């Protein structure tokens, strides 16, 4: 209750209860020997000393009020911490585990769906797309005979020389059943294009024996092609591994012990679009140093070091022509 004094007709407020409480507290502090008010200093320094003294010993704000405010500040700070906690999820790396192979539409370099009938036959240009994870390149090949007419690629059993086991290569897709796709990472030591690439029929010739890297064919590869009557090859220049693109990228010559994994393609004849739907054979060669790839292609999805799932679209890039 404020203390009031009546002067004439006006009521003048003298002191409020809080002021009274404050004065009482101040006097108590001034009498307290620990915090004695130094009147000598007050006369020399004036009101500044008084204010400092008051704010130091009585605090201007009484203890209860100060604690209440402190409580609020601590409350707000605690709430802030609680708010930051879900943000700490930023430290948990997103799990790059594709639970299965995605069905990815192949796009051309300008982002439109790729038309299967427009893929050139026996193109020497290295044509690649990433699947099932980013960083995992695969060849996209439209195979033909010596004269450049598309050939229907039939299903065949592919042997894995390392284990002797076989798996069923499903054959080509597309309007002429001539389109196939294989991993573009060599199963020997993991070389990638342009070291490993497709040699069209015109380039499977003795003149490639002396061609500069990465276009050199080994004599062994030429001989194997001749014996197997294969017009075109996939050959890795790093160490000379050769694969047969017509027969599921089976091993033609070493040093590789495993065929290139096949990427399963699905052809939609109504739209002429191609979809990648899965992989077959052994797992993609890991780029890291942890050795021999697994023979189960799905293993690749949770242990791969390449990147994230490409999702429902993947872009086909045809940039490099190694023979030019």
Partner 1 sequence: MSLGKRVSNWFAERLGLDDLPFFKTPDYMFHANEWLGALVAASFIYTVISGLILLLYYNAAAGYQSTEAIINQVPYGSVVLYSHLYGSYAMIILAYVHMFRNYFVGAYKKPRELLWILGVLMLVLTLGASFLGYSLIGDALAVSAVDVGAGIVTSIPQLSFLIPIIFGNYDTGDYTRVLALHIILVALIGLLFVFHFFLAEHYGMMPSRKVKPKAPAVYTKEEWSKFNPWWPRNFVYMSSLVFMTWGFILAIPNALAYLNGLPQYFNPFMNPKPAPPPNSPAAAHITTYPPWFFLFLYKIADFTSDVVVFLMIGVIIPLIYLLIVPFLDRTDELHPLRRKVFSGIGILMITYLIQTSLWGDLAPGVQVSVKDQVIAYLVPAIIVALGLTFLNPMEQKVRPSSAISPMTSILFVVISLLFSGAVVQLIDYPSPLTFSIAMFLGSLFFLGARSMGSLVLNKNVSRSVPNRPVSEVNTSVMISNEKKKRLAEVIMSILFVLVVVIVAQMWTIPPTGYASNLFGVDLGLVFLMLGESISLYHYVVYKKPTEKEE
Residues in touch with partner 1 (CB under 8 A): 47, 51, 55, 59-61, 65-66, 68-70, 72-73, 75-77, 79-80, 82-84, 86-87, 89-94, 110-111, 134-135, 307-308
Least Å from the CB of residue 83 to partner 1: 4
Q: Which of 130, 115, 105 is nearest to 317 (CA)?
A: 130
What's the closest the beta carbon of residue 201 comes to partner 1, in angstroms? 32
Residue 1 or 92 having the CB closest to partner 1: 92
Spell out the residues 6+ positions from residue 35 whose beta carbon is closer than 8 angstroms to its own.
29, 56, 57
Kindly state the smallest distance separating residue 93's Cβ from partner 1, in Å.
7
Residue 323 Cβ vs partner 1, minimum distance, rounded to whole Å:
22
Least CB distance to partner 1 at residue 185 (A): 17
How far apart are the C-alpha atoms of 29 and 69, rounded to whole Å? Answer: 22
Residue 140 · residue 106 · CB < 8 Å: yes
- Assess contact for 317 and 307: CB atoms under 8 A: no
Of 1 and 82, which CB lies nearer to partner 1 in the complex structure? 82
Cα 262 from chain centre: 23
CA distance 216 to 182: 21
Phi/psi at 300 (nearest 5 deg)? -55, -35
- Give φ, ψ of 217 to 5 degrees: -100, 145
| Nearest distance from C-beta of residue 94 to partner 1, angstroms | 5
Question: How near is the Cβ of 87 to partner 1 at its closest, in Å?
Answer: 6
> Least distance from C-beta 122 to partner 1, angstroms?
27
Rounded to 5 degrees, φ, ψ at 222 are -60, -45
User: Which candidate, 201, 199, 171, places its Cα nearest to that of 262?
Assistant: 171
Q: Could you tell me which of 224, 214, 207 has the C-alpha nearest to residue 193?
A: 214
**Please, which residue, 78 or 223, has the CB nearer to partner 1?**
78
Query: Closer CB to partner 1, residue 91 or residue 118?
Result: 91
Counting other chains too, the contacts that 82-88 makes at CB distance below 8 Å and 24 or more residues apart are: none
The alpha-carbon radius of gyration of the chain (Å, integer) is 40
Strands (E), 95-218: 104-107, 126-130, 137-142, 156-159, 166-169, 179-183, 196-199
Specify the residue, 6 or 89, whose C-beta has the smaller distance to partner 1: 89
What phi and psi values does residue 234 have, to the nearest 5 degrees?
-110, 125
Provide, rounded to whole angstroms, the least separation between the CB of residue 150 and partner 1. Answer: 29
Nearer to partner 1, 254 or 288 (CB): 288
Nearer to partner 1, 51 or 220 (CB): 51
């Amino acid at each position: 209750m404020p203390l009031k004094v009546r002067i004439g007709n006006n009521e003048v407020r003298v002191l409020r209860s809080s002021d009274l409480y404050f004065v009482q507290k101040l006097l108590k502090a001034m009498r307290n020997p620990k915090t004695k008010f130094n009147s000598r200093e007050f006369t020399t320094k004036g009101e500044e000393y008084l204010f400092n003294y008051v704010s130091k010993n009585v605090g201007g704000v009484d203890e209860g009020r100060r604690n209440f405010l402190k409580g609020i500040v601590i409350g707000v700070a605690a709430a802030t911490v609680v708010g930051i906690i879900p943000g700490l999820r930023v430290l948990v790396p997103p799990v790059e585990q594709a639970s299965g192979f995605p069905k990815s539409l192949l796009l051309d370099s300008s982002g439109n769906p790729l038309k299967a009938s427009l893929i050139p036959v026996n193109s020497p240009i290295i044509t690649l797309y990433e699947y099932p994870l980013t960083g995992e390149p695969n060849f996209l090949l439209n195979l033909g005979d010596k004269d450049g007419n598309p050939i229907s690629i039939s299903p065949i059993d592919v042997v894995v020389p390392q284990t002797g086991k076989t798996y069923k290569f499903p054959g080509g897709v597309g309007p002429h059943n001539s389109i196939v796709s294989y991993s573009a990472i060599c199963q020997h030591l993991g070389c990638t294009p342009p070291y490993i690439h497709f040699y069209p029929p015109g380039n499977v010739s003795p003149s490639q024996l002396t061609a500069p890297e990465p276009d050199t064919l080994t004599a062994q590869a030429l001989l194997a092609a001749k014996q197997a009557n294969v017009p075109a090859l996939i050959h890795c220049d790093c160490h000379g591994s050769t694969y047969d693109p017509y027969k599921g990228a089976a091993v033609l010559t070493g040093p590789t012990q495993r065929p290139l994994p096949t990427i399963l393609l699905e052809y939609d004849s109504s739209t002429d679009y191609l979809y990648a739907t899965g992989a077959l054979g052994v797992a993609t060669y890991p780029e890291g140093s942890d050795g021999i790839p697994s023979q189960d292609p799905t293993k690749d999805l949770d242990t791969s070091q390449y990147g994230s799932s490409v999702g429902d679209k993947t872009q086909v890039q045809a940039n490099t022509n190694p023979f030019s």
